[in-house]
Every structure is written in C-alpha cells, then in structure tokens.
Amino acid sequence: MSIPLIPSQKPWRAGWFSMFFAFTPVWFWVIANVAAPRFSEPMVVQPPGILGIPLGVVLAGLVGFWMLLGVLVLWRARSRRVAALAYTIFTAPATVVLIYGPALILILQNLA
C-alpha cells in the first residue's frame, strides 16, 4: 500500500477578474474619453512625429502592444507570482504611459 506524498494539484490559472484587470489601459482610455472627450486629442496632432506618424499614434500602438504582451503572459501564467510580475512589468507601465502620453506630447509641442 503506497500513500502519495504530494496530492495532485491543478496549476493556478488566471481567472476572469485577473484577465479583466490586465486590460486596464483599455478601460482607462474608454472612461477618460467618456468623461473628458478631448483627453486623447493631443495624441493625434502632427508636430511631434516619428517618420511622419504622429507621436501619439506611436505611443498608443506601444501601449496596445505592451498591454497585449502582458495579457499573453498572464494567460500562460501558472502561478500568482508570474501574474504579479506581468501586472508590474506590462500592465502598470502601459497604463502610466497612456495616462501621461497626452501631457508628454503637449510638453514636446511647447518645446518646439
């Protein structure tokens, strides 16, 4: 008669709330544009640009890519520690860049 030393456990998976939280930049962008419709207006102005593309569009693309990378890491995470790192490395910085992006662009316009 053998007694298992370690009971079989299913690995941890991110639940629906964790996945909802991973999309924080999207939710912030929607709420900010509903509350203040001109919030993202500086994101599409032309003067500060990269290769003819407005800097705000480049920043929005970077935020989207950063956020989706975090969602992918969270989707494949098998522990809470990896999920916390995904939020820390991807979701939080993407949200901060989205929040301060319009201000950064307005500052760059005033410097030019």
Model confidence over 17-42: pLDDT tens digits?
889 999 999 999 999 889 988 887 87
What pTM, to 2 d.p., does this model score?
0.77
Pick from 7-16, 74-83, 93-102: least confident = 7-16
Give the ranges where 23-91 is alpha helix by DSSP (H).
24-35, 55-76, 80-86
Rounded CA separation 51/70 (Å): 27
Residue 7 backbone zone (phi > 0: left; psi -120 to 50: alpha; other: beta): beta
In whole angstroms, give the CA distance from residue 95 to residue 49.
21
77 backbone φψ class: left, alpha, beta (φ>0; ψ -120 to 50): beta
pLDDT at 88 over 90: yes
- pLDDT for the residue numbered 54: 81
> 43-62 pLDDT, tens per residue?
777 666 677 788 888 888 99
Q: What is the pLDDT of residue 55?
A: 82
